[in-house]
């Protein structure tokens, strides 16, 4: 009994509406196509047409019933819903009529006369029902959303405002927040489908809130329902977006938090708000402000061939990261016959600015070796997994401020290293699998480096 009460049967069956509704469409269109063929090629398809119409009409009934269940869920624009509902029901009725007429039109004159009219009518009804169904699922405008400006104008849709992506002139709501809502939330919170009674389409609707009242409180993200919903555990039933839709990225979430805390500006420019370097970084992630990669900004002279040769002579593999680049990657294979020693390490310093990727995985890394690595000032990627590195070793890496990728998995490092890792402010990817760093330590790192992706093997 409780199961029956708890389950939302309307919603459960309703979801099948979107699936089943394609069957009547398919069969009715098939009947229309057969009718055209029969007429053009003068072939006899009467039986096939009758069957297609009957099957189409029967599936139509199922689609209507499921549709009514889905609608009972609420949250849809009532006008759009009514148009969709009644054209959908009419389509089904006309399909039944057509089935009977197709049987009688040989013998009864009025049946023969009304048949083509009804055929045309069913096509029109089907198109209207389908169109509004699309609006209910995807929001009005969905058909012309990506249309060129001229076609949008013809369809009577207001021209899209060109998004400004230059930091100095972009607007915080129009160019940042609205773009995020449109991308991640508004399939369900738009003018045709306001789930939870909430629309996130403009300042008015956002400030108005949903069926449970206000969802944002100016200056206080942590008291704002909207912020709570996007920061819940993704498995929580109140987490937004629901239904497994793509969640917000860390940067998007933090930008929304910033926007609420800065007082919910709708007309202000980004630069009128309190703008830290960190926020600038998040803005770059969503396409505002030029993203100049560190590597792209390096303008280094080529390394002398003789220097490269001498490095290779020591057993290193060293080569440009891409053809003809002045940026180099270096590796010392764990299978190399002669073990790594300090003299070998030192020779790397002759190309120290140009080395941006280094791989010393599976080699016992003496503390002094690491101090040499610490001098490769432009390093962005470093692999030192299974290299017997200790907390002291990790400390030597803190000068590598451009490091974006660090693999230290399989090393005996502990929470002592957390502080050192927190200093690597550019880190995006960190492999900590098989280390002694605790969950607490990992949380600390995540807290100070929100952009980071930590791989722990779990």
14 near ligand HEC (CB under 6 A): no
Positions in 243-262 near ligand HEC (CB under 6 A) = 243, 245, 248
Residues contacting residue 79 through CB under 8 Å, at least 6 positions apart? none
Separation CA 15–CA 10 (nearest Å): 8
Positions in 143-172 near ligand HEC (CB under 6 A) = none
75 and 195 Cβ atoms separated by less than 8 Å: yes
DSSP code string of 275-307: --HHHHHHHHHTT-S----HHHH---PPPPHHH
Q: Give 429's strand partners.
A: 405, 453
Q: How far is the CB of 276 from ligand HEC (least distance, A)?
A: 23
Using the minimum distance from each CB to ligand HEC, give the nearer residue, 197 or 281: 197
67 near ligand HEC (CB under 6 A): no
229 near ligand HEC (CB under 6 A): yes
363 and 323 Cβ atoms separated by less than 8 Å: no
Using the minimum distance from each CB to ligand HEC, give the nearer residue, 211 or 367: 211
242 near ligand HEC (CB under 6 A): yes
Using the minimum distance from each CB to ligand HEC, give the nearer residue, 171 or 198: 198
225 near ligand HEC (CB under 6 A): yes
- Which pair of tokens denotes residue 16? 């099948």
The region of 111-119, 134-142, 242-250, 263-271 touching ligand HEC under the rule CB under 6 A is 242-250
Answer for which of 189, 383, 395, 402 binds ligand HEC (CB under 6 A) is 189
The region of 97-105, 120-128, 206-214, 310-318 touching ligand HEC under the rule CB under 6 A is 206-214
187 near ligand HEC (CB under 6 A): yes
Answer for which of 55, 57, 122, 240 binds ligand HEC (CB under 6 A) is 240
Give all strands (DSSP E) within 227-380, no chain letters.
317-320, 328-331, 355-359
SS3 assignment, position 429? strand
Using the minimum distance from each CB to ligand HEC, give the nearer residue, 186 or 386: 186
83 near ligand HEC (CB under 6 A): no
Q: How far is the CB of 65 from ligand HEC (least distance, A)?
A: 22
176 near ligand HEC (CB under 6 A): no
Using the minimum distance from each CB to ligand HEC, give the nearer residue, 258 or 357: 258
Answer for which of 209, 393, 410, 441 binds ligand HEC (CB under 6 A) is 209
Separation CA 292–CA 93 (nearest Å): 61
Separation CA 344–CA 324 (nearest Å): 25
Q: How far is the CB of 233 from ligand HEC (least distance, A)?
A: 14
185 near ligand HEC (CB under 6 A): yes
215 near ligand HEC (CB under 6 A): yes
Question: 185-209 in b/e burial notation, b at 16+ Cβ within 10 A?
Answer: bbbbbbbbbbbbebbbbeeebbeeb
206 near ligand HEC (CB under 6 A): no
Q: How far is the CB of 342 from ligand HEC (least distance, A)?
A: 54
Answer for which of 24, 60, 67, 210 binds ligand HEC (CB under 6 A) is 210
85 near ligand HEC (CB under 6 A): no
- Which pair of tokens denotes residue 197? 């009674």
Using the minimum distance from each CB to ligand HEC, give the nearer residue, 103 or 228: 228
Separation CA 311–CA 308 (nearest Å): 5
Separation CA 429–CA 443 (nearest Å): 14
Angle between helices 46-71 and 22-41 (to 10 degrees): 160
Using the minimum distance from each CB to ligand HEC, give the nearer residue, 229 or 383: 229
Residue number with the smallest Cβ distance to ligand HEC? 210
- Which pair of tokens denotes residue 288? 């505002």
- The H or E element containing residue 384 is none
211 near ligand HEC (CB under 6 A): yes
- Which pair of tokens denotes residue 313? 């002579």
The region of 88-96, 190-198, 318-326, 347-355 touching ligand HEC under the rule CB under 6 A is 190-198
Distances (CA, A) of 355 to 116, 292, 315, 413: 76, 19, 16, 25
Separation CA 455–CA 458 (nearest Å): 8
Residue 132 class from Cβ within 10 Å (0-12 exposed, 13-18 middle, 19+ buried)?
Answer: buried
222 near ligand HEC (CB under 6 A): no
Residue 68 class from Cβ within 10 Å (0-12 exposed, 13-18 middle, 19+ buried)?
Answer: middle
238 near ligand HEC (CB under 6 A): yes
**Can you give the binding site for ligand HEC, defined by CB under 6 A?**
184-185, 187-189, 195-198, 209-212, 215, 225-226, 229-230, 238, 240-243, 245, 248
């Amino acid at each position: 009994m409780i199961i029956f009460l708890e389950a939302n049967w309307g919603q459960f069956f309703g979801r099948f509406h979107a699936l089943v509704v394609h069957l009547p469409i398919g069969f009715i269109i098939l009947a229309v196509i057969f009718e055209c063929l029969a007429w053009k090629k003068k072939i006899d398809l009467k039986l096939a047409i009758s069957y297609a119409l009957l099957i189409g009409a029967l599936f139509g009934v199922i689609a209507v019933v499921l549709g009514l269940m889905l609608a009972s869920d609420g949250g849809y624009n009532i006008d759009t819903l009514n148009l969709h509902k009644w054209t959908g029901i009419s389509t089904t009725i006309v399909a039944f009529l057509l089935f009977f007429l197709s049987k009688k039109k040989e013998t009864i004159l009025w049946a023969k006369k009304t048949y083509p009219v009804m055929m045309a009518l069913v096509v029109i009804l089907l198109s209207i029902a389908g169109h509004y169904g699309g609006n209910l699922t995807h929001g009005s405008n969905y058909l012309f959303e990506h249309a060129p400006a001229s076609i949008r104008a013809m369809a009577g849709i207001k021209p899209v405002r060109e998004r400004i992506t230059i930091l100095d002139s972009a607007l915080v709501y129009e160019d940042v927040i609205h773009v995020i809502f449109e991308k991640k939330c508004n399939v369900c919170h738009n003018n045709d489908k306001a789930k939870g009674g909430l629309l996130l389409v403009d300042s008015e609707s956002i400030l108005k809130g949903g069926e449970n009242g206000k969802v944002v409180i100016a200056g206080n993200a942590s008291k704002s329902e909207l912020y709570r919903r996007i920061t819940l555990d993704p498995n929580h039933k109140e987490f937004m977006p629901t239904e497994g839709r793509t969640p917000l990225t860390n940067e998007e979430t933090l930008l929304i938090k910033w926007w609420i805390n800065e007082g919910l500006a709708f007309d202000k420019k980004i630069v009128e708000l309190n703008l830290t370097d960190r926020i600038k970084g998040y803005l770059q992630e969503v396409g505002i402000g030029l993203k100049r990669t560190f590597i792209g900004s390096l303008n280094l002279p080529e390394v002398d061939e003789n220097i490269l040769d001498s490095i290779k002579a020591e057993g290193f593999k060293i080569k440009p990261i891409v053809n003809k680049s002045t940026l180099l990657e270096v590796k010392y294979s764990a299978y190399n016959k002669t073990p790594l020693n300090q003299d070998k390490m030192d020779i790397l310093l002759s190309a120290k600015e140009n080395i941006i990727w280094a791989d010393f995985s599976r080699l016992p890394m003496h503390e002094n070796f690491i101090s040499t690595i610490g001098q490769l000032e432009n390093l962005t990627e470093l692999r030192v997994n299974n290299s017997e590195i200790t907390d002291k070793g990790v400390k030597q890496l803190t000068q590598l401020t451009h490091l974006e990728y660090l693999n230290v998995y399989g090393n005996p490092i502990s929470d002592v290293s957390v502080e050192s890792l927190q200093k690597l402010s550019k880190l995006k990817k960190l492999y900590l699998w098989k280390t002694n760093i605790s969950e607490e330590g990992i949380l600390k790192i995540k807290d100070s480096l929100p952009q980071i992706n930590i791989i722990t093997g779990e």
